[in-house]
């Protein structure tokens, strides 16, 4: 029988011990990377959201006219000086480093981008904290792996890069499974980076645990009704498909606007900051007149409270375009932040609009389905989007209709994405 055994199954004892030892080291270092990332993200979120942005949102309303523009000015200065001319990219930096082993995540550019993110987001820029969080985690992972060549001899250069990115997303959203899936799914279209699954899961878990130890375990979205149980009917599944179609068209517009904003950052810095700051002031005033609230400031979590009230369909459409414009001009002015949450907000608005038509008595389900469809279509991450809805609401019962919405949006979306650094399986080969 021994003679019939294929030689490819014969692993020398020393080599087997080396594989086991290296696997343990990968898991341990992934956990350390996740813990460091979780600690950093918690302090980053506290300073930006709970110190700077809280003072802005609760201060005099007219500050919303000038503060986002001043934040762009400070961001441009920080990127040019502290960052040594670094670009405002965050999530795209992770994707570039993932696909190019020679692409460096330099410490000076890192600190330039992080301080610029504090300036952009703390002053009301319409972008999310998840971009800098993901970038920070991937940078930490890459730095650790570069300094441990012996432990990773023969290992993939992206192992801790992916682990850190997963931990950053997991921490900022308090959603460990979402962090792992997003970090693995976003580099490709129609494919996942499966080989880094174990370190991504470990880092997500450790990053999440450190973050919630310093904050809390409450889901980032909650319902007014206590102990609400997710429920849906066949009509809701049809509504989910309808939401997926509308969200795909919305995400296509959003993606093109984001790409225009990124291209505009190549303009001379004084000109682009002036145009973006002026446009943000106008967008803020329009939103203030229409809603009476500072609806265009910040990543958009305040929009969810606004969506809890009754609004005319045309007003929902107007707020959707105002939020898209605010994010686009923040990005065009060189602001540093993520577009994950702006996509979430856009999907929530579209979902609420469709929900008012399909089931006006209970639009909550449709808001969440819009989030899954719009996020999945915009970033081309349907699995991560569905998991995000389940984890961020504490309602896993929404997974089935969310899958319908995400698949419908994915089919209609085509090849459009908010990032140009994703690859298809054919390009990777």
CA dihedral sign of residues 305, 307, 310, 315 = positive
The beta-carbon contacts of 46-53 under 8 Å, at least 24 apart in sequence, are 47/118, 47/122, 48/117, 48/118, 48/121, 48/122, 48/129, 49/121, 49/129, 51/122, 52/118, 52/121, 52/122, 52/123, 53/121, 53/122, 53/124, 53/298
> What whole-number distance in Å separates Cα of residue 243 and Cα of residue 264?
31
Paired strand residues for 423? 188
> What whole-number distance in Å separates Cα of residue 234 and Cα of residue 176?
31
pLDDT at 192 over 70: no
Secondary structure letter of residue 363 according to DSSP = -
pLDDT at 324 over 60: yes
pLDDT for res 156? 66
Reduced to 3 states, what is the DSSP secondary structure of residue 338? strand
pLDDT for res 119? 97
Tell me the average pLDDT of the chain: 85
* 81-85, 283-287, 306-310, 358-362, range with the lowest pLDDT: 358-362
Spacing of C-alpha 176 from chain mean position? 13
pTM of structure? 0.89
- What is the share, in percent, of the chain residues with pLDDT greater than 70? 85
How buried is 285 (Cβ within 10 angstroms: 0-12 exposed, 13-18 middle, 19+ buried)? middle
106-138: burial string, b at 16+ Cβ within 10 Å, e else? eeebbbbbbbbbbbbbbbbbbbbbbbbbbbbbb
pLDDT digits (tens, 9 = 90+) for 277-301: 999 999 999 999 999 999 999 998 8
Reduced to 3 states, what is the DSSP secondary structure of residue 128? strand
> What whole-number distance in Å separates Cα of residue 56 and Cα of residue 65?
11
Mean pLDDT across 289-315: 90
- What is the share, in percent, of the chain residues with pLDDT greater than 90? 52
Q: Which residue has the higher pLDDT, 257 or 192?
A: 257
pLDDT for res 333? 95
Contact 251, 346 (CB under 8 A): yes
pLDDT for res 347? 93
pLDDT for res 20? 46
Mean pLDDT across 41-60: 93
pLDDT for res 354? 87
pLDDT for res 417? 82
Mean pLDDT across 160-181: 93
pLDDT at 236 over 80: no
Contact 47, 117 (CB under 8 A): no
pLDDT at 223 over 70: no
């Amino acid at each position: 029988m021994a003679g019939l055994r294929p030689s490819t199954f014969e692993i020398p004892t020393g080599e087997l011990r080396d594989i086991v030892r290296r696997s343990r080291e990968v898991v341990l270092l992934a956990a350390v990377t996740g813990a460091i990332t979780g600690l950093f993200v918690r302090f980053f979120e506290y300073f930006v959201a709970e110190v700077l942005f809280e003072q802005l949102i609760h201060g005099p309303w007219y500050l919303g006219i000038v503060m986002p523009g001043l934040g762009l000015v400070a961001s441009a200065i920080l990127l040019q000086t502290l960052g040594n001319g670094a670009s405002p990219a965050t999530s795209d930096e992770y994707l570039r480093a993932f696909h190019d082993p020679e692409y460096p995540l330099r410490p000076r550019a890192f600190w330039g981008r992080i301080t610029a993110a504090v300036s952009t987001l703390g002053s009301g820029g319409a972008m999310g904290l998840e971009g800098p969080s993901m970038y920070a985690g991937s940078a930490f992972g890459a730095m650790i792996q570069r300094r441990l060549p012996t432990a990773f001899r023969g290992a993939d250069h992206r192992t801790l890069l992916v682990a850190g990115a997963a931990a950053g997303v997991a921490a900022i959203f308090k959603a460990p499974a979402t962090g792992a899936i997003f970090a693995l799914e976003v580099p490709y279209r129609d494919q996942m980076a499966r080989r880094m699954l174990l370190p991504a899961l470990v880092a997500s878990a450790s990053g999440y645990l450190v973050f919630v130890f310093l904050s809390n375990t409450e889901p980032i979205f909650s319902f007014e009704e206590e102990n609400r149980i997710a429920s849906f009917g066949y009509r809701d599944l049809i509504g989910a498909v309808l939401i997926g179609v509308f969200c795909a068209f919305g995400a296509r517009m959003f993606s093109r606007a984001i790409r225009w904003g990124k291209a505009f950052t190549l303009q001379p810095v004084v000109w682009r900051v002036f145009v973006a700051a002026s446009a943000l002031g106008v967008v803020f005033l329009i939103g203030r007149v229409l809603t009476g609230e500072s609806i265009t400031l910040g990543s958009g979590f305040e929009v969810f409270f606004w969506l809890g009230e009754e609004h005319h369909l045309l007003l929902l459409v107007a707020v959707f375009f105002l939020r898209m414009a605010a994010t686009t001009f923040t990005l065009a002015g060189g602001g540093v932040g993520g577009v994950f949450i702006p996509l979430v907000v856009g999907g929530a608005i579209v979902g609420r609009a469709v929900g008012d038509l399909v089931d006006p008595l209970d639009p909550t389900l449709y808001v969440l389905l819009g989030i899954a469809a719009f996020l999945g279509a915009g970033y081309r991450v349907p699995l991560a989007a569905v998991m995000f809805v389940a984890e961020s609401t504490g309602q896993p019962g929404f997974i089935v209709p969310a899958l319908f919405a995400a698949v419908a949006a994915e089919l209609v979306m085509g090849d459009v994405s908010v990032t140009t650094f994703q690859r298809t399986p054919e390009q990777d080969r």
